[in-house]
Structure 1
Amino acid sequence: MKIFLLLLIGLVIGTLVILFGGGGAAIYLGILTGLFSLKAASASATSLMTALPSLIIGAWSYYRQGKINTKIGNQMLLAAIPAVIVGALLSKYIPANLYKWLIGVVLILLGINMLIQKKNKTSDSMHKQGHARLQASLFGIFGGLMVGVAGMSGGAVIIAGLFLLGLKDFQATATSTYVLVFMTATGALFHIAGGQVDWATGLPLMIGALVGAIIAPKLAQLLAKTKITKYMKPTTGVLLILLGTKSLL
């Protein structure tokens, strides 16, 4: 029964996070600690290892569809990877309450920004502006710190940053998945060193998530032809505000 439940949870989360550009590690982290009572260090390592294979499959599928903007994605990664490493090394020195408060404030501000931004600029025009690279780097740094410090995926910040940089609907989610592959892989290396992966719990989650990662890009192709894409950005903004509020409470 436990294995079936884990497979089902992995399938649902894997489909949704790849479809909407997240990594899922934060969700897995909450499930592993809250529902299955894993210790924090083990849960962080297990959540990142669970999320990584499905991210790779999702990114590869989006790449084959030509949806990934590697230019902006690589700009984020240049800042994100060092931030993951620094965050992992400093995680033991950062008070948990301070970290949760900072995450909450940043997520709320990002969500509000997404809701009030009237018009997306095209990614090409953003490339011509001098501050675009700096913006991409800042989003990458904060997302990387989320991975390094707490074993989260950092997907909320990355997808918000990509929308604010002008990428639209599933191009933003595809590029986010690409960025999260490398961030999660780097974070997994450090968190595995600090906590043992619970394979008995993580493997069924991983298998379910892999199936979801195969489904999600195909589902994205179908949804891209519908009106649902115009609701992706405001919906993401509302979710960020809710996540930020939860972090502050």
Structure 2
Amino acid sequence: MIIILTMFLLGMLFGFIGAGGAGFVIAVLTVFFSVPIHMALGTSLAAMAFTSVSGAYSHYREGNTHLKIGLIVGGFAAAGSFGGAKLAAVIPGGSLHWLTAGMLFLSAFLLFVKLFFLKDTSKLIDEKNHIIWMKSIFLGLLAGVLSGTFGIGSAPFIQIGLMILLNLTIRQSVGTTMLVIVPLAIGGGIGYFSEGFIDFFLLLKVLIGTACGAYLGAKFTNIVPKPVLKSAIILTPTAAAVLLLF
């Protein structure tokens, strides 16, 4: 019950900021519940596929999702994530621990620069522009490889890409990222499963908590002031990285 309750609280946070939350789940499982790093990576990434479904549906109902871009980015992210999971299997656990923490710190820094120092570049998207779809494919592959290799959902990288490359608003990037994470996590989960790095009983407990929490948390994205949303998006991967260093 302790794991389920902890995951419910984390799920509310993930739904609110539009993240699958694999990085935070990995940190909590390894630090507080002594789960081996590879097993934590595989289990959290697989759980994220189910967690993100409830959050993505809720964001879609709230009008925060660009469906076409989400599906294209997500489809290619799934392929990249599967390959990344195979790569992670050959990286030593100690090195992977530090690399995952480093990626979380980097994602938080990039989000901080984008949200607080760069101008809002959001605009209407020309869906007939082939450059838009090429950027979507590139973003999907990049996010997928990062997610599969380091076990993180790479939500910050996806959100940055959606805002900078594809000119979505912050709320659109939050909702669309939740959609992207669904196929991304499925691809990575299959990759980790093929390497024997998923604990199904632990997966069930993580799922019960995070899926329920994510649906509820998504309801607050349009209610809470933007400065609070921006701060939460940045502080979440930072806190996960700090935990992994202990």
TM-score (norm 2): 0.80
Q: 1:241 to 1:102 in 2, by over 3 A?
A: closer
How far is the alpha carbon of 1:208 from its aligned partner? 1.5
**Separation (CA, whole Å) in 2 of partners of 1:120 and 1:241:** 25
Match of 2:195 in 1: 194
**1:173-229 deviation per Cα after TM superposition (whole angstroms, max 9, x unaligned):** 1111000011001111111222343344332332121221221233334x1xx6x12
Aligned partner of residue 124 in structure 1, secondary structure: coil
Map 1:1-249 to 2 at 5 A.
Answer: 3=1, 5-93=2-90, 96=95, 99-100=99-100, 103=103, 107=107, 108-124=109-125, 131-164=131-164, 165-221=166-222, 223=223, 228-229=225-226, 231-233=228-230, 236=233
Aligned partner of residue 173 in structure 2, secondary structure: helix
**Separation (CA, whole Å) in 2 of partners of 1:210 and 1:114:** 27
**Separation (CA, whole Å) in 1 of partners of 2:120 and 2:235:** 17
Letter in 2 for 1:189: I
TM-score (norm 1): 0.79
Letter in 1 for 2:179: Y
Letter in 2 for 1:26: G
How far is the alpha carbon of 1:42 from its aligned partner? 1.8
Query: Which consecutive residues of structure 1, in runs of 5 or more, have no partner in the other structure?
Result: none
Letter in 1 for 2:202: T
Contact 2:27 2:243 in 1 (8 A): no
How far is the alpha carbon of 1:93 from its aligned partner? 4.6
Query: Which consecutive residues of structure 2, in runs of 5 or more, have no partner in the other structure?
Result: none
How far is the alpha carbon of 1:22 from its aligned partner? 0.6
Q: 1:181 to 1:132 in 2, by over 3 A?
A: same
Q: 1:99 to 1:123 in 2, by over 3 A?
A: farther
**1:44-102 deviation per Cα after TM superposition (whole angstroms, max 9, x unaligned):** 22212332222111112222333310222233234322211221232245573795597
Letter in 1 for 2:23: A
Between Structure 1 and Structure 2, how many residues are aligned? Answer: 241
User: Share of identical aligned residues, percent?
Assistant: 24
Contact 2:120 2:169 in 1 (8 A): no
Deviates more, 1:176-185 or 1:70-79: 70-79
